[in-house]
Chains A and B, each alone.
Chain A
């Protein structure tokens, strides 16, 4: 290319390189620093006069003054096309397993491999014929990709109307082959393959309208689905101190969530955690499809020891892939772990640029950047009426576990649900450690809101009694209050807490949640024949035991039914009124028994 600009390195400071160039330089374009036999990828982040500053996506050791810089005149982009699902990429969309084949154990710098190699072949089925008019985002044909029908669309960066000049017939092609030719109004011919590029920092905007997220997304985590639900196309955040179980919660969600595709962006976190996903998913069967979980997962992996600048790119890479699959009418869940590391990467660069720091030295634009990232979530309707959604769940790792810090606060402003993890609960091994009194959600859940409100009120009362007992002691508490406390503890133990390592208890379907929740309601409503605190505690301990065992039984198995009748028996012999009358009372009090 003759138009390519060239520059020279004049300064190196950590992962920032200053470069002098007389040619044209674009803001945020990609440049390569040529040092020895390596070409290191970098992005322009500031231009001043003929000097520009680049953040290098690799270690900068060995770069010297006078090294050449090649500018590409292109923004940082990802390749979109069939073959992305099941892959493991780094933050710049390098396929890590292929890099490993080439370089062995270590990530050598300057090794960039195509995300979608041309050896990939798919059977293309055309949906349109020559002469048809199309515009960007229109589907011209399909290819099978695992369990999905992957739509080959007119690249999103082709603006205007096009006439299909030619289109290949049904057969197998390499993904780089031209499968269709488009003719624009001026008569120019544009060849189309199955792959095209899109700049990661621009949201894909090919849809008719963005809708309000209303439909719940089942994560199979009881406390989330029942108390703090997430909606398809919504956003939520999981802040928590270290060790509170953020990552386990994300892993559980990535396994059991009822969505079509899960994209995991491991951003600046431990490599070990990604490895668990990476090694286990190809062997775990997704009950919904009968195929392995890997066939609905994409992993973007930029762990903490990998270069910082690429960490910043990784969340954008992930969300761009999510938006691409959304265009096919699928529901995508993007799990970003952790957005704080991404914010720290911004802070590092901001510091190197010597920008005036904001709170805790984070850059002043932190909030707007976080907001625009979460705003890329949403449920959208396309012009043919189909819908697709991207749901974003981000963990936040607040310094010192203090939610008052800038990243948590900036995130809370823009998300629809907040699952705050608490040190207190995780120390007491009450997992998932989502705090039931501090968390919130703006979305509607799967269980009737009036039931949830009632149970939450018991939980709240129970907490009050607990606080009071710390002051006046157990003996200063009335038996009625004490039973409320026991009830709320019981609810916490058997419903809010969930054993992520138990094969059955790890995921609870919505139907089962509604079913169990009704039992909880009956128990919470019930008046018990317990006059003594010791007896009361003993009784609830027993009941808890029964429920915990029940939680470990397969849904509707014989064992499940036998526990159900055991619990019923136990209740009938200890309630002041008949079990049936309580069920009836609950039926009158709460509206929709039909769903339960």
Chain B
């Protein structure tokens, strides 16, 4: 039987301190107060003083409350019974189902040996051309969705969850609005995907410390399923809330802040979560998509900035569209060579032209005369936006590529595209080549 302590030395923010012996770093304790029981985790040891962060917050905890150390770190139950269930950030059922206690696993385990990793090779098709064609999602990839508050990022996430070809979806909500949580549930239920989904949802109303657990719990469970051969897609929304929770604890612990109040180890903290994305040779994989809202649409804010350096690209969601500039899937080169021979060239060429369109648009808005070339670009840009960029477009990769050639041939001459001649000969829509040629 573990010893029980009845004297809390200090309470600051969500951190309490007790004098105790034989406590290990990272161990869990149960704090019982007049308002109920809560778990707490050891986050600092110094001599006989033990600092713990209380998951449900320290509000209402008294100096005479009982602290009982459990002798083990945070664990979560793992079994197939998790499928279709909804839990809180602390791992308690949120859906009135039974609490699961069997087969407890530790969370936040060691990282994967780089020598055991394999090169990602499978594309995950989503039916969204801006992803499939221009920034293909690859199995075992980790990608954030950079977005401003108010953009339909949760809708996008839900749509990807519905359409992506994976075995299992784990949704980790961090500071999720209750409406959004319900929105996710309804979308997945309507699409019949609920039975292959596990929710760990921390809503905005829940105690902040609990949110710190969500990525670790979600990923620990995902890892076990992946080891059993499942292809798991983990969706986290929103990692900025996670970083803010880290900041709050760091400040309480009187750590020296590095940038805008965030702790100096923000990068390492985020990386240790994102790096859980992996493809196990001979088993399953974890693919990770995480929403990161950018305060003030500022990509240089510490959270999106550090995230960008960790992840393998990013999707920018702006004005309800996945922005082609800035959006990047670093792993796309690994898969788009095997799709169709024109995939890469078309992808690069169309973006280069779209960049020129943006310049032409700028010139137009400043009142300059449009040259013939500018007019062509303007037409191209508009077609590109309506036929490919719109998030409502739902077509396969091959259809999207054909659409791309169609758009090009509707606006430009083959030699104006900057594409290699052999590709043009093969893919340029034949009927149009003549029509345009006659015009010039």
Which residues on A are within 8 Å of B, measured CB to CB? 10-14, 18, 59-66, 88, 96-97, 99-100, 103-109, 241-243, 268-272, 274-276, 278-280, 301, 303-306, 308, 338, 341, 344, 347-348, 350-351, 354, 357, 360-362, 397, 399-402, 427-429, 470, 473-475, 501, 533-534, 537-538, 541-542, 544-545, 548-549, 552
Closest 6 CB pairs of A and B: A400-B300, A473-B368, A305-B275, A304-B271, A61-B26, A242-B308
- Is B23 within 8 A of A106, CB to CB? no
**A501 and B345 alpha carbons, distance in the complex (Å):** 11
Interface size for chain B: under 10, 10 to 19, 20 to 34, or 35 or more residues?
A: 35 or more
For B113, B140, B373, B416, the residue with the greatest tally of chain A CB atoms inside 10 Å of its CB is B113
**A306 and B272 alpha carbons, distance in the complex (Å):** 8
**A397 and B26 alpha carbons, distance in the complex (Å):** 31
List, in ascending order, chain A residues with CB within 8 A of B263's CB. 351
B348 to chain A, nearest CB (A): 6
- Which of A14, A269, A401 touches B300 (beta carbons < 8 Å)? A401
- Is B44 within 8 A of A13, CB to CB? yes
Q: Could you give 13 example pairs across A and B, Cβ below 8 Å? A: A13-B46, A14-B265, A64-B22, A66-B22, A104-B113, A106-B113, A108-B110, A271-B111, A272-B140, A279-B119, A351-B256, A534-B372, A545-B418
B125 to chain A, nearest CB (A): 20
**A306 and B24 alpha carbons, distance in the complex (Å):** 21
- Which of B25, B351, B416 touches A429 (beta carbons < 8 Å)? B351
Report the nearest B residue to A280, measured CB to CB. B119
- Is B371 within 8 A of A275, CB to CB? no
- Which of A271, A361, A545 touches B275 (beta carbons < 8 Å)? A271
- Which of B73, B257, B309, B371 touches A61 (beta carbons < 8 Å)? B73
For B116, B119, B312, B351, the residue with the greatest tally of chain A CB atoms inside 10 Å of its CB is B116
Report the nearest B residue to A104, measured CB to CB. B116
**B47: Cβ under 8 A from any A Cβ:** yes
List, in ascending order, chain B residues with CB within 8 A of A427's CB. 325-326, 355
Tell me what chain B mostly uses at the interface: helix, strand, loop, or mixed: mixed
List, in ascending order, chain A residues with CB within 8 A of B256's CB. 350-351, 354, 357, 361
List, in ascending order, chain A residues with CB within 8 A of B305's CB. 242, 399-401
- Which of B25, B309, B328, B373 touches A534 (beta carbons < 8 Å)? B373
- Is A473 within 8 A of B369, CB to CB? yes
Report the nearest A residue to B349, measured CB to CB. A429
Per-residue CB proximity of B368-381 to A under 8 Å, as 1/0?
11011110000000
Instruction: Report B411-427 residues with CB < 8 Å from chain A CB.
Output: 415-416, 418, 420-421
For B23, B47, B271, B373, the residue with the greatest tally of chain A CB atoms inside 10 Å of its CB is B271
- Is B310 within 8 A of A545, CB to CB? no
**B267: Cβ under 8 A from any A Cβ:** yes
- Is B309 within 8 A of A475, CB to CB? no
List, in ascending order, chain B residues with CB within 8 A of A475's CB. 368-369, 371
- A341-B255 CB under 8 A given contacts A270-B312, A276-B119: no
List, in ascending order, chain B residues with CB within 8 A of A537's CB. 373
Instruction: Report B1-52 residues with CB < 8 Å from chain A CB.
Output: 21-27, 44-48
- A97-B268 CB under 8 A given contacts A63-B24, A474-B368, A552-B420: no
**B114: Cβ under 8 A from any A Cβ:** yes
For A96, A105, A348, A351, the residue with the greatest tally of chain B CB atoms inside 10 Å of its CB is A105
Given contacts A428-B355, A474-B368, 10 further A-B contacts (CB under 8 A): A11-B45, A60-B25, A61-B24, A100-B116, A105-B112, A305-B275, A429-B351, A429-B352, A470-B363, A474-B363
- Is A105 within 8 A of B113, CB to CB? yes
Report the nearest A residue to B258, measured CB to CB. A361
A294 to chain B, nearest CB (A): 13
Report the nearest B residue to A271, measured CB to CB. B114
A568 to chain B, nearest CB (A): 18
**A331 and B89 alpha carbons, distance in the complex (Å):** 54
**B344: Cβ under 8 A from any A Cβ:** yes
List, in ascending order, chain A residues with CB within 8 A of B267's CB. 268, 304, 341, 344
- Is A109 within 8 A of B73, CB to CB? no
- Which of B257, B331, B362 touches A272 (beta carbons < 8 Å)? B331
**A99 and B374 alpha carbons, distance in the complex (Å):** 59
- Which of B120, B301, B326 touches A243 (beta carbons < 8 Å)? B326
- A88-B114 CB under 8 A given contacts A272-B312, A276-B119, A541-B415: yes
Report the nearest A residue to B374, measured CB to CB. A474
List, in ascending order, chain A residues with CB within 8 A of B265's CB. 14, 308, 344, 348, 351
- Is B330 within 8 A of A243, CB to CB? yes
- A99-B115 CB under 8 A given contacts A270-B312, A541-B416: yes
List, in ascending order, chain A residues with CB within 8 A of B25's CB. 12, 60-64
